[in-house]
Chain A
Amino acid sequence: AQSVTQLGSHVSVSEGALVLLRCNYSSSVPPYLFWYVQYPNQGLQLLLKYTSAATLVKGINGFEAEFKKSETSFHLTKPSAHMSDAAEYFCAVSDRRRDDKIIFGKGTRLHILP
């Protein structure tokens, strides 16, 4: 069975500092991996996805993530945090079937300190 583990339910960074949100996955087959963001009282927006092309994936809003098979990780980074990045971030995994469900992690709430 597939799963993802997000380390840290809350992460605080100063504005302008590096953002690092950690995600480790477990999958018996090569997975697809995703990061979604949820702003307060809003839906889930896809930040980026890994589908086995480049291991470094660039997404929206300056975020990127690197797939590391040896570490079973897919950490999300952004070089310089903005106040507008404050949100809940979800790492997710799916099988490579086109219709497969996505399994979400528990989420990490990112706080940006002025």
Chain B
Amino acid sequence: EPEVTQTPSHQVTQMGQEVILRCVPISNHLYFYWYRQILGQKVEFLVSFYNNEISEKSEIFDDQFSVERPDGSNFTLKIRSTKLEDSAMYFCASSEQVGYTFGSGTRLTVV
């Protein structure tokens, strides 16, 4: 069964550093998303992406965040200057029809 692949599975970074989280969506999917889950809390929408541009973004997705599809397969989330409160599990998802397929997530720890 096709999968959404996320790398790395765990990343530790110092506060103020830039991080790039990587995702390989399912190949024939057209819609891409990033979500995050702070430990013990619910899964929150960050951004949706279609046709090489952002479709929608949440209030969380401020100027520190950006997304990119640099080639035909990867979909990245960049956090320019990480804060302690950015520590969370970040999930990538893709869809073609109704209902997403999620990746296994990247656990980001900011120290």
Residue of B55, B95, B104 touching A43 (CB-CB under 8 A): B104
**Residues A43 and B105 in contact, CB atoms below 8 Å apart:** yes
Chain A interface residue count, CB cutoff 8 Å, equals 22
Interface residue tally of chain B, by bracket? Answer: 20 to 34
Q: Which residues of B contact A94 (CB under 8 A)?
A: 98
Residue of A34, A42, A51, A98 touching B31 (CB-CB under 8 A): A98
Cβ of A96 to closest chain B Cβ, rounded Å: 8
Per-residue interface assignment for chain B, residues 41 to 79, with 1 indicating a CB less than 8 Å from any chain A CB and 0 otherwise: 111110010100001101000000000000000000000
Q: Which residues of A contact B33 (CB under 8 A)?
A: 101
B97 at the interface (CB under 8 A from A): yes
Interface residues of A (CB under 8 A from B): 32, 34, 36, 42-46, 49, 51, 90, 94, 98-107
Interface residues of B (CB under 8 A from A): 31, 33, 41-45, 48, 50, 55-56, 58, 91, 93, 95, 97-105
